[in-house]
Chains A and B, each alone.
Chain A
Amino acid sequence: MNGQRLELVGSTPIDDLLANELGTVEYNAEVVLNHMDRICFGSGILFQFKYPLKNFFTSQRFQEIQAQNEDMDPEEEVEMPPEMNTSSSTLVMTVTPTLQISNGIAQITVGTEYLFEIQFTDELGMETQPETVLWESSNSEVLSVDENGTLTAVSAGTASVTVSTLVSDTLILYTNSIQVVNPVMVSTVTSYTGIVETTSSYQLEGTFTLAVVGEQLILSVGSDYKASTALPGLYIYLSNNNNTISQALELGAVTVFQGAHEYILPSHVELMDYQYILYWCKPFNVKVGHAKIYD
């Protein structure tokens, strides 16, 4: 309370007297504490004023003064010490102001922007906006940040962003270290094309396209397709193993042996679920031909 202004208004004769005599009083109050030089904001402590003009303050009067001061807890019971302690220290009733980025990040992709938000608490413990803040990047070639806290990822690397403000000549700052990564190149593939070729003595050739059409996945065999009609039990599969139909998806018996045709795949099959097309002779349990869908 050192340096605080107190306006004395009251209803007692003493108060009136004081008010009449002193009006608004500016004073330097000294508070004597037992082995304490700092008090948390809002806490009650036992102390006594050394009032520079009058020394007849009573405990009751002080409580009234206390009630006028918003920095003090009006519910706190204040007692006069039994003796005045002449070895006094100055009471500092403050909280440490804090500043932080409330939506900090650890990673950002090159070419993207991000708006920081800050949270500031002043020395009275009130969440408010600082008068001014300063945004800085440790490496503007990696990250840049403007006066509004908008971050721009410039190139891959690591840099930090610091936000700071000045409170009562004290610099308060907060730093967020950020990794900037290159964007993952993702291209949306909706189809694959390839060549069906024989792996046996039986004729099998042609081209194919496996494509997402609307909500369907369709295997289209081209007009250049030809297959031997001599082999019994020829079936077509999708598999992830080029050498076996174990764990493969059977599309059915081959019923077209020349020309374009289609297979509409089951709805649960997705474009990249299988890597190979297999043509398989069931009775001989041997591969007749294949096609690679994708590497």
Chain B
Amino acid sequence: MKFKYLIVVLLTFSFSEAQWLKEKGKGYYKLGSWSLLADEHFTNLGGVDPNASRGLFISSFFGHYGLSDKINLIGYIPFFVKNYQFAQISQTTGKEYEPRREFNGLGEINLAAEFKITPLGNWAFSGTLLLGIPSGKEVAGFDGSYQTGDGEFNQQVQLNFGKSYSLGKQAFYLKSYLGYNNRSGGFSDELHSFAETGTQLWNSKLLVLSRLHWIRPLYNGTLDASNANGAIFANNIESFTLGGEVAINLGAHWGVSFAAATPLFGKVIFKGNSYSGGVFLNY
């Protein structure tokens, strides 16, 4: 589902900023917002169709804490989610025939634990178990389609791996993962592929990175267009997204970040750029 997709994207963004496993007692925390507005979407065949201008705005808290050197706890709490649609104006008469709609609520909380795995050569490995808590509303708004969650409890396991490398004298990092998202409630399971590379500039004051994220459904779910909640991207979504981010350290332990992403390909998902920003604390 779209919302799940968004959460995964947000988590991966945050993971990248957190960098690897945290040492015991260390943490990374971020207060941020994310916004997406789209007036077209990818169809089930990968084409592009128009739709009413709809948007999603999320304010969230992300925390990554080193319970030990080998086990980290991760939490993502979207404490404010606004699902909205612009007013619809007739091009013939110029009159508004449908007012602006919106629904505000709590999104779906993700809780995860990351475990260190023995390195292999110069590759670092870890495993993550992520639980998607159905804390949002799968039926909301005047027609039920302004949901803030999908109402399903999902479990995602992923293998994270990364390494450092250099291009000339500039050091870079590469981190990636392969994940399997087991979804309940009739939703199809998903495969996640993720890769991110970045480098630090200006005496480590500036982090610049880019990432690719591919979500593929396994089409083993039972939900279709008749699902009761009328949820958007209720099932079998697919997306291949390119994103970039800039994080600036403004102090010894804190800074701000800005990110953007655009879908390169997708199925049954909004085709629109997303933008995010936040303040992070890293110690």
Q: Which residues of A contact B (CB under 8 A)?
A: 200-202, 227-235, 244, 246, 253-255, 257, 281-286
Q: Does B177 contact A (CB under 8 A)?
A: no
Cβ B236 vs Cβ A234 within 8 A: no
Return chain A residues, CB-CB under 8 Å to B69: none
Cβ A230 vs Cβ B224 within 8 A: yes
Cβ A283 vs Cβ B44 within 8 A: no
Q: Does B117 contact A (CB under 8 A)?
A: no
Cβ A229 vs Cβ B98 within 8 A: no
Which of B47, B52, B88, B231 is A232 in contact with, Cβ under 8 Å? B231
What 3 A-B pairs are tightest by C-beta distance, nearest first?
A283-B232, A230-B44, A233-B230
Cβ B51 vs Cβ A233 within 8 A: no
* Complex: A79 Cα to B143 Cα, angstroms: 97
CB distance from B88 to the nearest CB of A (A): 7
Cβ B52 vs Cβ A286 within 8 A: yes
Contact residues of B between 88 and 121, Cβ < 8 Å to A? 88, 97-98
Return chain A residues, CB-CB under 8 Å to B50: 286
B 211-255 binary contact with A (CB < 8 Å = 1; else 0): 000000000000011111011111110000000000000000000
Which of A200, A244, A246, A257 is B225 in contact with, Cβ under 8 Å? A257
Q: Does B262 contact A (CB under 8 A)?
A: no
Return chain B residues, CB-CB under 8 Å to A283: 145, 230-234
B 71-90 binary contact with A (CB < 8 Å = 1; else 0): 00000000000000100100
Known: A201-B47, A232-B268, A284-B49. 19 other contacts (CB 8 A): A201-B48, A228-B44, A229-B224, A230-B43, A230-B224, A230-B268, A232-B230, A232-B231, A232-B233, A233-B231, A235-B230, A244-B98, A255-B226, A282-B143, A283-B232, A284-B41, A284-B52, A285-B85, A286-B51
* Complex: A283 Cα to B227 Cα, angstroms: 12
Which of B44, B48, B226, B236 is A202 in contact with, Cβ under 8 Å? B44
Return chain A residues, CB-CB under 8 Å to B231: 232-233, 283
CB distance from A137 to the nearest CB of B (A): 54
Cβ B226 vs Cβ A230 within 8 A: no
Which of B49, B54, B97, B226 is A257 in contact with, Cβ under 8 Å? B226
How many contacts A-B (CB < 8 Å)?
A: 89
CB distance from B101 to the nearest CB of A (A): 9
Chosen A-B contacts, 6 in total, with CB atoms closer than 8 Å, are A201-B49, A202-B49, A229-B225, A254-B226, A284-B49, A286-B49
Q: Does B167 contact A (CB under 8 A)?
A: no
CB distance from B274 to the nearest CB of A (A): 17
Return chain B residues, CB-CB under 8 Å to A230: 43-44, 224-225, 236, 267-268
Contact residues of B between 26 and 43, Cβ < 8 Å to A? 41, 43
Cβ B54 vs Cβ A284 within 8 A: yes
Return chain A residues, CB-CB under 8 Å to B226: 229, 234, 253-255, 257
* Complex: A118 Cα to B234 Cα, angstroms: 79
* Complex: A290 Cα to B236 Cα, angstroms: 25
* Complex: A185 Cα to B253 Cα, angstroms: 86
Cβ B41 vs Cβ A234 within 8 A: no
Q: Does B185 contact A (CB under 8 A)?
A: no
Return chain A residues, CB-CB under 8 Å to B268: 230-232
Q: Name the residue on B nearest A235 (C-beta).
A: B230
With A202-B43, A285-B54, A286-B50 known to touch, is A232 a contact of B227 (CB < 8 Å)?
yes
Cβ A282 vs Cβ B144 within 8 A: yes
Return chain B residues, CB-CB under 8 Å to A232: 225, 227, 230-235, 268
Return chain B residues, CB-CB under 8 Å to A246: 88, 97-98
Cβ B225 vs Cβ A227 within 8 A: yes
Cβ B43 vs Cβ A201 within 8 A: yes
Q: Name the residue on A nearest B99 (C-beta).
A: A246
CB distance from A76 to the nearest CB of B (A): 80
Q: Name the residue on B nearest A250 (C-beta).
A: B143
B 131-150 binary contact with A (CB < 8 Å = 1; else 0): 00000000000011100000
Which of B43, B226, B231, B268 counts the most A-chain CB atoms under 10 A from its CB? B226
Contact residues of B between 166 and 187, Cβ < 8 Å to A? none
Return chain B residues, CB-CB under 8 Å to A234: 225-226
Q: Name the residue on B nearest A245 (C-beta).
A: B98
* Complex: A257 Cα to B225 Cα, angstroms: 9
Return chain B residues, CB-CB under 8 Å to A286: 49-52
Return chain A residues, CB-CB under 8 Å to B232: 232-233, 283-284
Return chain A residues, CB-CB under 8 Å to B144: 282
Return chain A residues, CB-CB under 8 Å to B97: 244, 246
Return chain B residues, CB-CB under 8 Å to A244: 88, 97-98
* Complex: A255 Cα to B228 Cα, angstroms: 9
Which of B48, B49, B234, B267 is A233 in contact with, Cβ under 8 Å? B234
Cβ A200 vs Cβ B98 within 8 A: no
* Complex: A232 Cα to B49 Cα, angstroms: 14
